[in-house]
């Protein structure tokens, strides 16, 4: 099939499948699906089942090439698009994108009794500690398969998880003993972060 420029911006999952195919290819679509399903990211894990439909779309527009043995690889135009996506500048929307569902719940913490607020923080800290260990294991797994940039990318999981742990440890004291004077909330909280 002839390559053609897509008539729309590709989604993050489409770009991820394109990137994984470049990184691991030539490979089967099943291998891409398996990699997504083993991801430490709930975003990718929950989208693993889309690997076939996404890959078939990318094949249809010529960004992936499917061989007779069903293995796929990135086409020259797919590689060009991947390079454009990775190259600077990274759009602000991508830089600012976070989906922290713990932080989202935190906005509504006043809806539950005090004891449940502390249980929420403590149980989340335990889960984050497990997630931190998993991130460190993923770094080692990337090292074992020779994926240098995978190690560096996964360090982001480790740093982000450490920061979330630190945040919850800091705010736990103010959930347990709230700051009384409203006019001092921000200065007190920011002062402790320094």
C-alpha 158/C-alpha 155 separation (Å) is 5
165 vs 172: CA distance, rounded Å: 11
32 in a structural domain: yes
In the prediction, which pLDDT does 129 show?
A: 97
Q: Is residue 5 part of a domain?
A: no
User: What's residue 4's pLDDT?
Assistant: 60
Q: Quick check: helix, strand or coil at residue 37?
A: helix
Looking at the domain assignment, is residue 1 inside a domain?
no
- Please indicate, yes or no, whether residues 183 and 119 belong to a single structural domain of this protein: yes
Residue 33: predicted pLDDT: 93
Instruction: Give a yes or no: residue 2 inside a domain.
Output: no
Question: Is residue 30, in this structure, part of any structural domain at all?
Answer: yes
What is the distance, to the nearest Å, from the Cα of residue 186 to the centroid of all Cα atoms in its chain? 29
- Domain of 85, CATH number, reads 1.10.10.10
Q: Give pLDDT, residue 47.
A: 84
The rounded distance, in Å, linking the Cα atoms of 76 and 80 is 6
Q: Are residues 24 and 86 in the same domain?
A: yes
Give whole-number Cα distances, 156 to 48, 62, 137, 160, 193, in Å: 21, 32, 13, 6, 20
- Indicate the Cα dihedral angle 118, 122, 123, 124, nearest 10°: 100
Averages of pLDDT over runs of 10 residues in the chain (194 residues) are 70 93 94 89 83 95 97 97 92 84 92 96 97 96 95 95 96 92 89 78
pLDDT at 10: 92
For residue 35, what are the domain limits? Answer: 12-90
State which of 90, 121, 147 marks the end of a domain: 90
């Amino acid at each position: 099939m002839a390559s053609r420029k897509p008539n729309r911006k590709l989604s993050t999952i489409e770009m991820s499948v394109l990137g994984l195919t470049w990184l691991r290819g030539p490979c089967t679509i099943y291998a891409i699906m398996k990699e997504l399903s083993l991801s430490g990211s709930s975003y990718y894990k929950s989208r693993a089942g889309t690997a076939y439909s996404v890959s078939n779309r990318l094949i249809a527009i010529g960004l992936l090439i499917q061989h007779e043995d069903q293995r796929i690889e990135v086409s020259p135009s797919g590689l060009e698009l991947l390079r454009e996506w990775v190259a600077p500048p990274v759009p602000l929307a991508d830089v600012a994108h976070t989906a922290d569902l713990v932080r989202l719940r935190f906005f509504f913490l006043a809806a539950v009794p005090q004891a449940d607020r502390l249980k929420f923080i403590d149980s989340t800290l335990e889960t984050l500690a497990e997630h931190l260990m998993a991130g460190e294991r993923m770094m080692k797994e990337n090292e074992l398969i020779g994926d240098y940039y995978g190690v560096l990318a996964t360090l982001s999981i480790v740093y982000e998880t450490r920061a979330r742990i630190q945040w919850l440890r800091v705010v736990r004291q103010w959930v347990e003993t709230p700051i009384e004077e409203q006019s001092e909330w921000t200065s007190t909280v920011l002062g402790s972060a320094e």
